[in-house]
Every structure is written in C-alpha cells, then in structure tokens.
Structure 1
C-alpha cells in the first residue's frame, strides 16, 4: 500500500518496536498543537495526548493529530477507563494507538483490545469515511491493513494488576505495558519507593517474558537512560514535569530547589 502521491508510508510504531527500536515520546496534558509540532520538529518518535487527565475534546484532538501528521510524528491517545466510544473516535481521527488505563486483569485487557481493533480481534465499528480512512478514498482492504498496526498499551496501576501482569501482557493484541507509578503508589497506600519499584519490576519482567514492549514514564534524560538500561523500548517524557523543572530553574538559577526538585510519584527512575 502506498501513501499520498504514491509515496511509501512510514513504518508504524508497532513495526518499529518489532524491529527492536527504542522510541522516545512526550506526554502532553495541555491542549497545544504547537507543542505537538515542536515535538515533531525536535525529532521525537511519538506524542501521547492525555484524554484521561486532560481534555477529551475530539475537536481539539483532531487539531493535534493534524499538526502531528504535518511533522510526520505518530500520536497515541490515553483514553479513560473502559471508554470504547472515545477509543473509536480517537482511532477514526487517525491515532496510531491507544493507552488504556486501569487494566487490572486479563478480562480488562481483552476489552481494551476489543475497543482498539476491527473484527475478528476486536469489535471496533467499521468506517472508511473517517479521517483515518482518508475520508473514504482508501479501499476497505487497505484501511483494515492500516488499522492492524494500531498499538495497544495496557496500563498496570494497582497491586492486583501487577499480580496479574503475566495474564495481562499475554493477552493477544496487547503490544506494550505501562505501569502507572502514581496510581500504583496510591493503591498501595503510598509505601516506600522500594515497594513500588519491586511491583513495577515484576510487571516489566512479565511484559518482556511475553514479548511485549515496556513503556516507562520519566521526568528527564537521566530517567530515560536508566529506563533504557532496564530494557524499556518506549520512553515517555512527562512534559508537565520537564516544563516545571525548566521554569523553576529559570526562575531561581543556581538555587537548591531548581537543581534538586522534589521527587515525583510518576518518576521512579529519577536519581534521589
């Protein structure tokens, strides 16, 4: 299948992961097409638009996807818990994949996959006249082939989910596992960092054992390098943290706070 103008389409995130690539992306909760464009210009591999903790306005999302397409950067969308209707709209708009939060069991994982794929793997409603189908100008066969490249990321965010990580990761159609360290810490009653790290390690080990990619949220370059050394293929920079670190450093250059900010719950790889 060829793209517009007869050009060969770029490889999907799923294909790049299968080839063993390590991919870096940025997590955005603030609606800003310019930030998405900047991520593409900077050379990141993908962005994540957070519709769970950020706005779930699909008109805004379409603007972000259009900006991303102009820069040749893929977009993953984090939907809410068990939101198949939002998942459908995100994919119809052209998202490269979905991150499903609060996947606690194999059954939750199966529902996430079902919302993300066409039959027989899933039960996504079929349409070629959407933006993803180039407004009806592609054949059904080509559209189905492109949709098969949808990346499905299961978020593991509770102690129960960590215990079921083998079954979650082993669910057909799950491509990657992301541990949500903040929710995991809250679920465990905010224990010490060692407890959270041990649970995360178990989930990551289960993902790798099943041949799934590990996605890890990090606050900066040091965390990214640590995560890559630990085997993560998908690095996701928490841009709220990156921006706040940068702004604090600009506001108080040389101060202890600007050089050693507080330890965030969603940055387990950050050096103390």
Structure 2
C-alpha cells in the first residue's frame, strides 16, 4: 500500500492543490491512504467536459472555408506570391489578402519555401492556392499534405485532363489521393476517415486555361465534377495570338467570350489578374469573383521606382531654386 501511495503522490500534488482553480472537488486522501473515488470520478467527468469544450472552440475558430465564401457571392482579393519569405507573407496577409496565389511554376522556390508560406498564411487564417510547375500527382498530394487550400493546375486544355487533376486532389472513393498522415490533419479533432472525406469536399481545384484550345473546351472543363473554377491567363493567350498588349481588341474579345462561358456556371471560382483598381471593377462586372494582384516583385519594384523618381525630381527642383 505504501508503494501505491508513493506513486500517487504526484497525482495528489497536481490535482489536489490545483483542483479548485479548475472548479472541481478536492481529491482527498482517506486515513487508509485510498483515493476518494467519488471526487476522482467527478474530476474525470469535468476534465472530459473541458476537453470537449476546447475542441469545440478550436474547430469553431477556424475561418470560413474558401469554397463557402465563393458560393456566398463574396468577391475575394488575392496576390501572386513569388517572394515566399514568412515575413513577407505576414505583411501581405496583414494588408488584407483573402487568399494567396503561391507560384511554384516559375522562379527558384523549393519545397521549404512553399511549406513555410502555407504555414505562415494559415496563422493569419488566409487561404493558399499553389500553382504547380509540373503534372505530378505526388507533387499535388504533397502540397495538400502541407496544408494548401487548393491547387492551380496550369495549361489545362481538355475535360479529361481536368478530371485527372481533380482525382489527384481527392481521397477514395472520389479520387486517388493517397492516405498518408501529414501536417494537414494536425488541427482536426475528428477521426482520420472523416477528415479525409471532408478534405475531398473542401479542396479547391482551379484549372488555368491559357490557350485557344482550352478556350474551346472551357465549358466542358467547368462541367467536370470537382472543378472549383478557372483562372484565365491573358498573358499566355495574348502570346498565342501574337500580341503583347493585353488591351488589344483581339485579346479583349477572346477574354470576354471566355468570361461569358464562366458566368454560365454559378458558384464557380473565376480568377482574373487585375493590374489596377479600375481593371478589378471591370473584371468583377464580367463575372470574376477572385481578383488577383500581379506578382509581388513587380508591385514592389513599381513602388520603389515611383518613390525614387519622385525624390529625384524633388531634389532637382530644389537645386534649381
């Protein structure tokens, strides 16, 4: 009996002295050194209630899912991220971004860069979409396992391609995504099977259409079950037309025709790159519900160029006086 008492001393110390602060009954030791069974049962019950309450708070504190916001008719604002440093991600999120377009197709990013960007955005409750640079089911899964909200698949031209890409993003029976454990499941308090089925429903699968062939098949691509929406790449389309000016009437005509098709699919995500606020307003009027600022380095370069030019002009004016 003495040995049992010695082993239980830490329990008495931890719960006996701290129980009042938790609102449960004191755990008392009888003269025969046994535990007051009723008090211990009461503590166990209340501990269970506290844990359930914590889980409820944890789950309810998560930001509304991206798909839900789109279906409710919100117009979301995002930015193309090339500078995937955590501090810069924090800055963009704090500035008011609803989502981030993490570019893993261009530039010299590695897996760690994208992983840190996803984690940092997650801390700010900002959704992340990763544009892949290659057609790889494994790469798709790894980005989702890292916690990405969804995937942007480039150069999609047919419904068959879109269907295959969607299958990479979803678990069985809806897709072929592998069932390995990863950080994407850390904050989920339910069982793993339920998490995977919910993940299949929540994942955002955006098809980037950037060719005239893709334009011709746009309606079929959007009709694929599981396709969340499309991003029209005016840069690639203008190049295919042999034009450099996105405002050229020929380019505008193609983009307007594509926008009309997308509008016929309600609740679909429709991303448009907007270089100015006026262009954003125009794109929203054409049906876009996810407005994307241009690449971060272009914005930063433009900002510094403007400031340096203004300073130079002011200095020159002052020197003439």
TM-score normalized with structure 2 length: 0.73
Contact kept, 8 Å, 2:174 with 2:200, in 1: the verdict is no
1:126/1:4 Cα in 2 relative to 1: closer, same or farther (>3 Å)? farther
Displacement, 1:153? Answer: 0.8
Residue in 1 that maps onto 2:233: 180
Contact kept, 8 Å, 1:158 with 1:188, in 2: the verdict is no
1:121/1:204 Cα in 2 relative to 1: closer, same or farther (>3 Å)? farther
Displacement, 1:248? Answer: 1.7
Alpha-carbon distance in 2 for matches of 1:197, 1:137: 48
Displacement, 1:102? Answer: 0.2
1:187/1:4 Cα in 2 relative to 1: closer, same or farther (>3 Å)? farther
Residue in 2 that maps onto 1:201: 256
Q: Which has the larger radius of gyration?
A: 2
1:147/1:40 Cα in 2 relative to 1: closer, same or farther (>3 Å)? farther
Contact kept, 8 Å, 2:150 with 2:204, in 1: the verdict is yes
Displacement, 1:83? Answer: 2.3
- Please, which of 182, 185, 189 is the counterpart of residue 133 of structure 1? 185
1:26-105 superposed matches below 5 A = 26-105=79-158
Alpha-carbon distance in 2 for matches of 1:100, 1:199: 21
1:251 maps onto 2:311 in alignment? no
Contact kept, 8 Å, 1:3 with 1:9, in 2: the verdict is no
Gaps of at least 5 residues in structure 2 are: 1-51, 314-321
1:217-232 superposed matches below 5 A = 217-232=273-288
Displacement, 1:15? Answer: 0.7
Greater shift after overlay, 3-12 or 101-110? 3-12
- RMSD over equivalenced CA pairs, Å: 2.4
Cα offsets for 1:163-188 (capped at 9, x unmatched): 11111111111111111111111222
Displacement, 1:191? Answer: 6.8
- Please, which of 174, 181, 200 is the counterpart of residue 121 of structure 1? 174
Alpha-carbon distance in 1 for matches of 2:108, 2:141: 16
Alpha-carbon distance in 1 for matches of 2:240, 2:61: 46
Contact kept, 8 Å, 2:207 with 2:230, in 1: the verdict is yes
Greater shift after overlay, 40-49 or 192-201? 192-201
User: How many residues end up aligned between the 2 structures?
Assistant: 255
Contact kept, 8 Å, 1:130 with 1:136, in 2: the verdict is no
TM-score normalized with structure 1 length: 0.86
